Amino acid sequence: MTKTDYLAKRESLKNEAQSLIDSGNVEKANEKMEEIKALDKKFEDEAVAQANLSALGGVSFAGLKNYGEGAKTEGLKTNADSASDDDIYNSLEYRKAFQNYFVKGEAIPARFRNLDQTTTSTDTVLVPTYVSDKIYEKMEKIGQIYSRVTKVNIPGNLRIAVANLIPEAKWVEEGEGSDRQKYSDDYVDFTGHTVEVKLSFSLFVSATTLEKFESQFVDMISRALVKGIEQKIVAGTGVGTPTGIVPTETTKIVNVARTGSIGLDTIKKTEKLITAAMDSSNPVYLMSKSSFEEYMDIKDDANRPIASIPIGENGQTLPMIRGREVVYSDGYISDYADSVQEDTTFGVTVSLADYILNEIVKLTIFRYRDNDKNQDVIKGIALVDGKLARTDSLVKIVKKSS
């Protein structure tokens, strides 16, 4: 349904409802108002679906030779990824047009519109290359989890050998070549899931200069994207989202008994499950700040504190448990509690580099009208998938319910 059709239908239903109210038929008027709500919902759903489809259309799959192990993925890019000198989306003119689109509601000039995109009732625009780069640069800076995972750009619906994603070095004799690494059943399957960010147009009205607008846009989008992606890296179910670390199965589990509490024995059992070989990949603890506080009073056999919070070179605190870094994951993982209704994972150790985040399509922006709130909404969407490619560094710390 086009926006013109939607507005005409909505206006017609409003007039019918008003006529019914004027004639005293309130019951029928209420039915018409329900029809208006249903129409609004349908229009918004279609707008979202069209935007997701437009995002999928932004990927170029040039260079993909075959499926399965050894699939070639060179040449993959999105329209917004190009940073060459002739990249029109990296020009100052386009950056200003992008600002005017949001601040003033001015249409993007025709010469900048995606040539592969047909006209729809939803306004979809590419983020300027410069702005897109800044968003992902900032995500690397502020994302304590996002910055450490391995990021790739591989088409969805492919099975890729883990060895192609996380290769290992191998010593060879002089004159010999290193065999291509193969794993009999070590594969990662990627699909594509939508992560979205919604912002009100009104947030950018005061951004009168290009510098201020881009700074504000980058800050808001990057923070929202990092929070959304990191939550799924840790806790995603794999159904409509990436598969998170916590839901990933492992045989390495340290249990805290129902009547027990976190103690020195908990830490020793956890560390015993992390071999020296695994240590080379720098596994860290993921837990909430509240759970970390439970470790603060624990002392080792020499009466020394097990947990500490030294200050790093940049002035930030670096929580540690027995010299191993703790990455706070508040909101992504359950807090430790003395009593739980079901077995609860409140902490894990994992090498975050073993988590593969597939950024299939980076950020695409569109706008639509939220009629319930009577405001224009900016929506950014990206297609991503992810899962832990290797689980040997994954240790779960679980509070038992029985």
Residue range 103-128, pLDDT digits in tens: 777 888 888 875 444 434 455 678 88
Strand 355-370 versus strand 123-126 pairing type: antiparallel
Phi first, then psi: give them for residue 372, nearest 5 degrees: -65, -40
What six digits make up the tokens of 381?
């969407």
Residue 188's nearest CA partner among 227, 167, 157 is 157
pLDDT, position 43: 66
Cβ within 8 Å of residue 150, ≥6 positions away: 165, 166, 353, 354, 355, 356, 357, 389
Strands 395-399 and 344-350, sheet pairing: antiparallel
Per-10-residue mean pLDDT of the chain, 402 residues long, equals 72 87 86 84 62 43 30 33 63 91 82 55 73 91 94 64 49 46 46 68 66 88 89 91 94 96 96 90 96 95 93 83 95 96 97 90 72 72 87 95 94
Tracing tokens 């390495």 back to the chain, one arrives at: 252
The first and second tokens of residue 317, run together, are: 């605190």
> 213: phi > 0 → left, psi -120 to 50 → alpha, else beta; which?
alpha
CA atoms of 366 and 123, how far apart (whole Å): 5
Report the distance separating Cα 319 and Cα 325, nearest Å. 6
Q: What burial letters (b/e) apply to 250-273, b meaning 16+ CB within 10 Å?
A: bebbbebeeeeebeeebbebbbeb
Helices (H), 254-384: 264-272, 276-279, 289-293
For the record, the structure tokens of 61 come out as: 């799959």
Q: Residue 362 and residue 267: Cα distance in Å, rounded?
A: 40
What's the rounded Cα separation, in Å, for the pair 285 and 381? 30
pLDDT in tens, 257-309: 999 999 999 999 999 999 888 888 899 999 999 999 999 999 999 999 999 99
Query: In angstroms, rounded to a whole number, what is the distance separating the alpha carbons of residues 378 and 198?
Result: 6
Domain ranges of the chain: 3-56, 61-244+357-388, 253-355+392-399
- Closest residue by Cα to residue 389 from 196, 114, 150: 150
Rounded Cα–Cα distance for residues 396 and 66 (Å): 37
- Average pLDDT of the residues of the chain: 78
C-alpha neighbours within 13 Å on the C-beta side of residue 146: 23
What pLDDT score does 47 carry?
57
Query: Rounded to a whole number, what is the distance in angstroms from the first to the last CA of the chain?
Result: 55
Q: Does the predicted model carry a pTM greater than 0.75?
A: no
| Of the candidates 223, 234, 215, the residue with the CA atom closest to the CA atom of residue 197 | 223
Q: How far is CA 185 from the centre of its chain?
A: 27
Separation CA 191–CA 352 (nearest Å): 20
Per-residue pLDDT at 1: 66
Distant-in-sequence, close-in-space partners of 212: CB < 8 Å, separation ≥ 6: none
Q: How far apart are CA 194 and CA 363, in angstroms?
A: 10
- Please answer whether residues 254 and 263 qualify as being in contact, where contact means their C-beta atoms are separated by less than 8 angstroms: no
Cβ-Cβ contacts under 8 Å for 283 (sequence gap 6 or more): 274, 324, 349, 350, 351, 393
Q: Are 317 and 310 in contact (CB under 8 A)?
A: yes
What pairing do the DSSP bridges indicate for beta strands 150-152 and 355-370?
parallel
